[in-house]
Structure 1
Amino acid sequence: MDKELLLSLINKYLSNQATAGEEKLLMDYYDILQKNELKWDESLMGDESIVKAELYGKVLQEIKTRESEVKRPVFMSGRWLIAASVALFLTLSTLLVIYLKHNIASLSTGNQQAAAKHLIAPGGNKAILTLSNGSKITLDDLGTGQLAKQSGVTITKTGNGKLVYTITNDASNATKGNEQAYNTIETPKGGQYQVNLPDGSKVWLNAESSLRYPTNFSGAVRRVELNGEAYFEVAKNPAKPFKVVSNSQEVEVLGTHFNISSYPDDASVKTTLLEGSVKVLSTKLNQSKLLKPGEQSNITDNSIHVQEVDTDDVVAWKNGYFMFVDEDLKSIMSKLARWYNIDVEYTGNVDNLKFGGMVSRSKDLAQALKIIEKTGSVKIKIEGRRVIIMP
């Protein structure tokens, strides 16, 4: 697990703000520490008793400080003991990293080249915008400013990689008597992008996804089409419902926050509601469900199933990190493949393998794979942009 995210998780756990999924990740990580004790190497880290005594002192002082802040008696409860153990492990790991950094010059040129060979960088703000006239704009290659003006709407790219649509005064005249014009934004593998639509709605597109939408919402319904995954914050407009069409599903809202995962190679389409209310319709089954905040619909070829979920886990990708809680290995690798633009190959049966962990999406692929490698359940080999999983 990424160190910065783990420290954040510990803080949330100690302040009783961790979600159920986050708390389980920390408990699983603690179990790993219990089973795989850190082996001391005096040649690298000095006298064990002296260094450990100093580190324990620092951890205990941190605990006392936190306990006094919340006006509780100072004692090693289960919650504090777990957090202290994890914090101690992190501190020891940091010492080792510092040592290695100070001695990095001793690495051979061959080792450095080997490490660089397997470095696969994460994705970023990349997308292609196809205008209604068929012209294409590669967004990651462009600077900021106005990109185009069509149907009474000005399209602008901001400095933080966001596409913004602004309706001009002549918008109503631009579409009068004309057929509705549509734009499409597509993210490749290793890409993501945020779009502010003409009605003020915000959409975050995950990797390998696309969104088709009108240049101006002039009709009675605000209708868009999604392939892949996106998080929506829909601007409220009771007179004009917002509808998302994707892979045998329609989601209708008036104004709300929700996430849709609708990749063609996934077994189901998942819609997760964070705020407001939505109606989910399976066009294939001709069945619909109303979702409440914290619920997720799961549509397959045969049924619609609704369950409560931890929404923080679902939208972790939008907030900049991966979070896996008892998730199938193939599902995890599909998400990593989209973000790191890799191909995945399996040399044996991995259908029953599940993993948990959390890592920043800004880290390279090797960091993300650690959550799988540290379990010892599989071996992983990287050849170029091909990742081979060996049970």
Structure 2
Amino acid sequence: MKEVQLLLEKYKQGSITAAELERLQELSLQPDAVEIIKTDIDTLLQQGAPDSGWQPADHPEILTYILTQPTLKATRSWRNKWLLAAACLAALAIGTGTWFYQQQRPPAIVAQKAKPIQPGSNKAMLVLADGSTVALDSANLGQIARQGNASINNNGEGITYQTNGKASTIVYNAIVTPRGGQYQLGLPDGSRVWLNAASSIRFPTAFAGKERRVEISGEAYFQVAPNAQQPFFVTVKGNKTMDVQVLGTSFNIMAYPDEQMITTTLESGAVQLLHAGNKTQLQPGLAGSLNEAATFDVATADMEEVLAWKDGKFRFRNTNIQTIMRQIARWYDVEVSYAGDLSDVRLTGVISRRADADDLLQILSATQRVNFETTNNQIKVKPFHQEQ
């Protein structure tokens, strides 16, 4: 891991570039890199960290500020900053490749259970035009079915549709991911789709006519192949009056039934949100949410948080515990209940979606804001101060 050591030295000297900092943050998710960083910090701690004059309760916020600066300029005091970061780290419980911060509080307790709850994986079900189903997993590779003049192929990471000649009959297929599943597919026009857990997409085996139209539920990320003569439309299942009109672009749409709003977030290109005669154009970096008044609220999006699921992460920024637990419930296929007042619990951090639920709950508990009790696939969330 010489790359980590080199980037660490640049980081401490203040000469690291934005691209190098992003690379260091990516590498910090790997266990080997974490050990190198801890060793570096231990060495500095043995040399003695400076007395900053700040209280221990301030350490988490200070550390977060130091380690999340977008660009760093070299200064004579940078070694002292790194030593201060080391002192702060010594006062925190740090999970592998994960950081969370909150004010210092009495330790929380996580109930032990015999069998770990495993994270989700790449799995889905293909529903063919006649209603028959095909399991989509690594055990079912190669050509798995034919629909009209289209062959359906599974490469282990997702499926693609390959058409031969003009389709004589248009039929519809669907991909459905369960709770604890995710999947990728290539549509007949070359567009790519990523499905999150507990989601679905229905689409034709060939796009004919003046438009391309698909229907989704849950959450999906699209990279749409450009074709100005055949615009792309996404309809939300159960809400036939709303459409997302697309040319060539990448965007995320979240439409889970247990979320308050349907939200479309644009990464690149342009989309137009349509509902009951209302039209709203989105620019990259913006999100549009259909509210209860049947109009769209548009705001700047936190793209890293929105797209974290697609990149294999949970990312929270001052996110309430109920929203966090809904994501956990869908990915780990668990049932969540609550006890006590959790209305003020909001957390910030990033965790790999590859972590077992036990590890994830331990990390959340390290914030000293919440406790968890787990029984089989049941998780109860309680405030940290509630009697066990």
TM range (shorter): 0.7 to 0.9
Q: Distance in 2 between matches of 1:73 and 1:375?
A: 32
Q: Deviation at 1:211? A: 0.2
Q: Deviations over 1:94-144 (max 9, x none)?
A: 9xxxxxxxxxxxxxxxxxxx9661411100011000011211001126331
**Residue correspondence of structure 1 range 43-82 to structure 2 within 5 A:** 52-53=45-46, 72-76=74-78, 80=82
- What RMSD over aligned residues (CA atoms) do the two structures have, in Å? 3.3
| 2:285 paired with 1:294 | yes
Aligned-partner Cα distance in 2 for 1:75–1:130:
61
Residues 232/55 of structure 1: CA separation in 2 closer, same or farther (3 Å cut): farther
Counterpart CA distance in 2 for 1:81 and 1:162 is 46
- The one of 154, 159, 162 equivalent to 1:163 is 159
1:119 is paired with a residue whose SS is: coil
Aligned equivalent of 1:234, options 224, 241, 256? 224
Bigger drift between 330-339 and 244-253 goes to 244-253
SS in 2 for 1:369: helix
Q: Give the corresponding residue for 2:306.
A: 314
Q: CA deviation at 1:364?
A: 0.5
**In structure 1, C-alpha distance between the alignment counterparts of 2:93 and 2:371, rounded to whole Å:** 27
1:133 aligns with 2:130: yes
Q: Structure 2: which amino acid aligns with 1:388?
A: K
1:341 maps to amino acid: D
Offset of 1:11 from its aligned partner?
A: 6.7
1:351 aligned onto 2:347: no
The match for 2:139 among 139, 142, 167 is 142
TM-score (norm 2): 0.73
CA offset at residue 373 of structure 1? 1.0
Instruction: State whether residues 112 and 374 of structure 2, in contact with CA within 8 Å, keep that contact through their aligned partners in structure 1.
Output: no
Deviations 1:10-52 (CA, angstroms, capped at 9, x unpaired): 9799644679xx9xxxxxxxxxxxxxxxxxxxxxxxxxx9994
1:268 to 261, 275, 279: 261
Task: Answer yes or no: is 1:364 the counterpart of 2:364.
Answer: no
Partners of 1:138 and 1:362 lie apart in 2 by: 22
Q: What are the Cα deviations for residues 307-365 of structure 1, in whole angstroms up to 9, with x where unaligned?
A: 01121211000001000101111110000000000000112232332111110001101
Cα 1:225/1:310, change in 2 over 3 Å: same
Aligned to 1:38: none
CA distance in 1 between partners of 2:45 and 2:79 (Å): 21
Choose from 190, 213, 219 the match for 1:223. 213
2:230 alignment partner, SS class: coil
**CA offsets, 1:272-321, max 9 Å, x none?**
000000001124xx322100000001112213110011212110000010
Q: Residues 320-335 of structure 1 correspond to what in structure 2 (within 5 A)?
A: 320-335=312-327
Q: Distance in 1 between matches of 2:345 and 2:91?
A: 26
Specify the alignment match of 2:178 in structure 1.
Answer: 188
Deviation, 1:241, is 0.4
Question: Is the partner of 1:316 in helix, strand or coil?
Answer: helix
User: In the aligned structure 2, how far is the partner of 1:164 from the partner of 1:212?
Assistant: 14
User: Alpha carbons of 1:311 and 1:93: their partners in 2 closer, same or farther (altered >3 Å)?
Assistant: closer
In the TM superposition, 1:73-152 aligns within 5 A as 73-76=75-78, 80=82, 83-85=85-87, 117-140=114-137, 142-152=139-149
- SS of the equivalent of 2:179 reads coil
Partner letter of residue 300 of structure 1? N
* Runs of 5+ unmatched residues, structure 2: 26-41, 50-71, 97-110, 384-388
1:377 to 369, 372, 379: 369
Letter in 2 for 1:132: A
Cα contact 1:121–1:365 (8 A) shared by 2: yes
Q: TM-score, normalised by structure 1?
A: 0.73
CA distance in 1, matches of 2:151, 2:324: 39
Paired residues of 1:359 and 1:367 also in contact (CA < 8 A)? no
Partner Cα separation in structure 1 for residue 233 and residue 364 of structure 2: 38
Number of equivalences: 317
What is the distance in 2 between the residues matched to 1:128 and 1:304?
Answer: 33
Distance verdict in 2 for CA 1:11–1:243, change over 3 Å: farther
2:272 is aligned to 279
More RCO (CA 8 Å, sep 6+): 2
**Separation (CA, whole Å) in 2 of partners of 1:82 and 1:238:** 55
CA distance in 2, matches of 1:93, 1:289: 42
Cα separation, partners in 2 of 1:279 and 1:86, compared to 1, 3 Å: farther
Contact 2:45 2:86 in 1 (8 A): no
Judged with a 3 Å threshold, the aligned counterparts in structure 2 of structure 1 residues 287 and 74 are, in CA distance, closer, same or farther, namely same
Structure-2 separation of matches of 1:243 and 1:93: 42
Match of residue 27 from structure 1: none
Instruction: Indicate if the aligned counterparts of 1:358 and 1:371 stay in contact, CA closer than 8 A.
Output: no
Letter of the structure 2 residue corresponding to residue 329 of structure 1: I
- Distance change (3 Å), C-alpha of 1:93 and 1:344: closer
